[in-house]
Structure 1
Amino acid sequence: MDIGWKIISTGGGLVAGLAAKKIVEYGWQFATGHNAPDEDDFESNLVEAVVFSVVAAATNTIIRNLVMKKASDVYGRAAKSVER
């Protein structure tokens, strides 16, 4: 397997995860008016925690897929130009 793609896919996944986390936390704060549920807070509302988890997972998946698709397109073009 190509080491360049391994580096790009790992970095892209990390960046996508961090971006998704910030987006979800900011969106939750904006929509609800309070901080996102903390995983160590056992006093939080169960429904709120489940909704937050679903929104966070969906957002993370969407952003990661978009980032990886773009990285694949860019890397594919770069790899083709080097092969010539």
Structure 2
Amino acid sequence: MDIGWKIVSTGGGLLAGLVAKKIVEFGWQAATGHDAPNEDDFQSNLVEAVVFSVVAAATNTIIRNLVMKKASSWYGQGAKAVAVDA
């Protein structure tokens, strides 16, 4: 168990989530002209909510993978084995 890698990977995951959220919200605003669907707004269009969720999840996954690759190369060779096992 490598505590350093766990800290780096957790921080990278959080950073990726924040970046993905901002990108998707900005893109949604630019594409549709209105704010992203809010999970607490039960009056919003179901189709919009589903499309937004799919786009947000895909964006988050892509950015997280890119961040984790970079973190792994920065942290060192040992992190690659740990990242694959997790």
TM-score when scaled to structure 1? 0.89
CA distance in 2, matches of 1:40, 1:52: 14
Look up the match of 2:56.
56
Percent identity of equivalent pairs:
86
Look up the match of 2:10.
10
Q: What residue identity is the alignment partner of 1:32?
A: T
Number of residue equivalences? 79
Q: What residue identity is the alignment partner of 1:47?
A: V
Whether 2:64 is the aligned partner of 1:68: answer: no
Higher-Rg structure is 1
SS of 2:76's equivalent in the other structure is helix
Moved beyond 4 Å, runs of 4+ = none
Look up the match of 1:82.
none
Q: CA deviation at 1:4?
A: 0.8
CA distance in 1, matches of 2:62, 2:51: 17
Runs of at least 5 residues in structure 1 that lack an aligned partner in the other structure:
80-84
Runs of at least 5 residues in structure 2 that lack an aligned partner in the other structure:
80-86
Q: What residue identity is the alignment partner of 1:27?
A: G
CA distance in 2, matches of 1:58, 1:46: 18
SS of 1:18's equivalent in the other structure is helix
